[in-house]
Each structure stands twice: as structure tokens, then as C-alpha cells.
Amino acid sequence: MRHLMSPLDFDLDELDKVLDLANDIEKNPAKYAHACDGKIMATLFYEPSTRTRLSFESAMLRLGGKVLGFSSADSSSASKGESVADTIRVVSCYADICAMRHPKEGAPLVASMASQIPVINAGDGGHQHPTQTLTDLLTIRSMKGRLDNITIGLCGDLKFGRTVHSLIEALVRYEGVKFVLISPEELKVPDYIRDDVLKASGHEFEEVERLEDASKQNDGKNAITVLDESHVYPWDEFQKKVVEEKVKTLKWYFEQTEERGMSFLYHLTELLRNSEEHINIARYAYLLSRMEPDKDSSREEKEAYQIFSRKMYEWGNDAREKRELITAIYLYVYLKRDKEEQK
């Protein structure tokens, strides 16, 4: 019996087989529709999750299996003080495999030591997120046709981003991979990743604080950019869809609307990130309506609002556009803050 705690639990040959299998499932779903008939997966999520939890559950159902579990520690015996080890001992009697997310680093590992069934780490604190890494590797290989000899830019919260840590540890096993680490000083990769992984592997890497500094040093031909924990952007998509379109729109509108501060954008982002809750869609629409200029405003201001609000509605109602918009808001706020600090 094997568990999946880290991407390193697979050697490179096994990793290739897993990615090949994923490609085949994607191309021939009917072929695998009954692969898990009679099997049950337990999803033990001690902290909130939308994409990861539903990805596991959807995958198991599409393979013919069944799912049981909980989506919050509050709805389990953990709220009464039950340990992870005791929980997994009980769950082992009900399920054939378990996916566990926990806010504490190492909790899934503790569970695996007491479990009678395989345990998959679905994210533990700021430590590891191996299944997200497998998804990232599959995406990169699908776009580039390989996992070696590429330059990958990692931008954002590199200190606490478990997906970043997992992806770096996985990619250093391939030859010719160069890393560009883009983050403010306070969110740089932790020392154990820089020293024990990057430097120890001998891979070339550089740390910069500004996205512009990274893009100037890279022609983009072999570049991949990761800007959040749930998505890998090809460089040309990132440049055109996120930077050129959405960031420019935000900059164009907010620089001529001085009364709207950064808190307004943060509020918009929070509503977009949680738009699965229908009430937040209404709140998003209401927040945009509050931006409408009053009747004494100039015609130019009113026209600018109409253009901006229409784009925000359109982007907010499409899953892919919404993801790009969230990324663009983060990037715009970061660039604006960086510009103000340089004054």
C-alpha cells in the first residue's frame, strides 16, 4: 500500500506513467467510466475548499465510484477533540481510499501512519499540495510537450504558497529548468526551498521583485507563468489576456476615479473568489452599481463607467475570464503599490 504525500513519492518513470494515464482518461473518458465500480473514496477536508474537493469527488464519480466525507472540521468529530489518527482508523473501515486536506503541516502524514487505506495529501498548511502539482505538470507538458529545458516564472506569494513549493520540488528533477521567482521581499520563497531544493539541485534561478524585470530577461518562447495556486498560464495568454487587456482596463478606469481606493478592489476580489455563493453575485453587482457617477458628473465619467462596468459584468460571469480578472486585480494592486513605494 502506498500513500501520496509529496510529488516526490513518484519517481520520474512513475510520474510519466501517471501523466500518460491522465491524458488517456481525458481523451477516452468512456473507457474508464467503470474503473472504480464498487469503490468508495473518503474526502476528509478539515478546511474549506471548492476546487480541490470537488475535483476529487467529480473524478471518483466519473470513474464509477462513490464518495463520502466532510467539508469542514466543524462537521466532524474533530470538533469534539478527535485526533487525525483516530479519525482515519474509523474511516478506513468505510472507504477504500482517502483524500485529506488539513491546515496543519504534516497532518496527512500522521494519518497515513495510522491508516489501513491509501491516503492522498490534498494540501497541508503551507507545506505540500501534490495533486495540484500533478495537474500543473500535466498542463505544462500538454502546452510545451516536455517538462525539461523550460523557464518557469512563479509570481505572487512564494513564502506560504504550498503549490509553489510542491511544483519547485517536482521540477528540479528535470534538466534545463530555470526558475524566475517574482515576489515582494516579505513573500520570497522560504530558505529551505531556496537552499535545500534550488541551490542543492544546481538549477539556475533568480529572484526579482518586479514582473517587468522578469519579462525583460525572457523572450517568452519557453516561458510558463504561474500567478495563483489554481492555474498555470502560458506566457502569451498571461501577457495578452491578463496584462494587456484586464490590467490595462483597471489602470485606465481607477486612475481617473480617485475616490475609489484599494479596499474597493479587495472587496471586489473577495466577492469574485466566493461567487459560488449566489448572494455574492448580488453583492458584486451592487458594489459595481455604487461606482456609478452621480448625475452631476461629466459625460466622459459616465461613459467610462459604462464601459468599465460592462466589462466587469462580462468577465465576472465567465469562469475563465473571472479567474483572469482576479489575477489581474492582484497584479494591478501589486504594481500600483510598488510604484507608490518608489516615489
Tell me: do 88 and 171 sit in the same domain.
Answer: no
Tell me: do 257 and 287 sit in the same domain.
Answer: yes
Tell me: do 34 and 71 sit in the same domain.
Answer: yes
Tell me: do 223 and 243 sit in the same domain.
Answer: no
Tell me the β-bridge partners of 70: 44
Q: Is residue 135 part of a domain?
A: no
129 assigned to active site: yes
Tell me: do 169 and 115 sit in the same domain.
Answer: no
C-alpha cell at 329: 486585480
The pLDDT value given to residue 77: 87
> Which residue has cell 486536506?
101
Q: Is residue 44 a contact partner of residue 68, using CB atoms and an 8 Å limit?
A: no
| Chosen domain end from 173, 205, 229 | 229
Q: Is residue 69 part of a domain?
A: yes
The pLDDT value given to residue 258: 56
C-alpha cell at 194: 531556496
The pLDDT value given to residue 340: 59
Tell me the C-alpha distance between 225 and 156, whole Å: 11
Q: Is residue 140 part of a domain?
A: no
β-pairing, 40-45 vs 66-70, is parallel
C-alpha cell at 63: 470513474
Tell me the C-alpha distance between 291 and 293, whole Å: 6
Instruction: Count the neighbouring beta carbons within 10 Å of the beta carbon of residue 269.
Output: 17
> Which residue has cell 498555470?
232
Tell me the C-alpha distance between 198 and 203, whole Å: 6
Tell me: do 178 and 215 sit in the same domain.
Answer: yes
Tell me: do 120 and 150 sit in the same domain.
Answer: no
Q: Is residue 266 part of a domain?
A: yes
Tell me the C-alpha distance between 112 and 98, whole Å: 9
For residue 334, give the amino acid letter: Y
Name the 3-class secondary structure at 20: helix
Q: Is residue 141 part of a domain?
A: no
Tell me: do 215 and 296 sit in the same domain.
Answer: no
Tell me: do 80 and 124 sit in the same domain.
Answer: yes
> Which residue has cell 478506513?
92
With the C-alpha atoms ordered 229, 132, 205, 143, is the resulting torsion angle positive or negative? negative
Tell me: do 14 and 100 sit in the same domain.
Answer: yes
Which residue in the list 102, 129, 141, 165 is annotated as catalytic?
129
Helix (H) or strand (E) holding 44: strand 40-45
Range of the domain at 308: 237-341
List per-residue pLDDT tens for the chain, 343 residues long.
Answer: 999 998 889 999 999 999 999 999 999 999 999 999 999 999 999 988 888 899 999 999 999 999 999 988 888 888 888 899 999 999 999 999 999 999 888 899 999 999 999 999 998 877 788 998 999 999 889 888 899 999 898 888 888 887 888 899 999 999 999 999 988 887 889 898 999 999 999 999 999 887 666 655 555 545 555 555 455 666 666 767 677 788 888 888 887 765 555 667 777 777 887 777 777 778 888 888 877 888 888 888 888 888 988 898 888 888 888 888 888 887 787 777 656 555 5
The pLDDT value given to residue 76: 82
Per-residue DSSP letter, 36: T
Q: Is residue 193 part of a domain?
A: yes
Tell me the C-alpha distance between 99 and 129, whole Å: 11
Helix (H) or strand (E) holding 206: strand 205-208
Question: Can you give the CATH number for the domain in which 79 is found?
Answer: 3.40.50.1370
The pLDDT value given to residue 339: 61
Per-residue DSSP letter, 80: G
For residue 12, give the amino acid letter: L
Tally the residues of the chain.
343
| Chosen domain end from 178, 200, 229 | 229
| Chosen domain end from 101, 128, 155 | 128
Tell me the C-alpha distance between 328 and 52, whole Å: 22
Split into its structural domains, the chain has a count of: 3
Tell me: do 16 and 102 sit in the same domain.
Answer: yes
Tell me: do 279 and 214 sit in the same domain.
Answer: no
In the sheet with 231-234, reading across from the earlier edge strand, the strands are 205-208, 178-182, 151-155, 223-228, 231-234
80 assigned to active site: yes
141 assigned to active site: no
Tell me the C-alpha distance between 43 and 66, whole Å: 11
Q: Is residue 139 part of a domain?
A: no
Alpha helices in the chain (DSSP H): 12-27, 51-62, 84-91, 107-114, 130-144, 162-171, 191-193, 200-201, 211-216, 235-237, 248-254, 262-273, 278-289, 299-316, 319-341
Q: Is residue 161 part of a domain?
A: yes
Which residue in the list 101, 127, 162, 241 is annotated as catalytic?
101
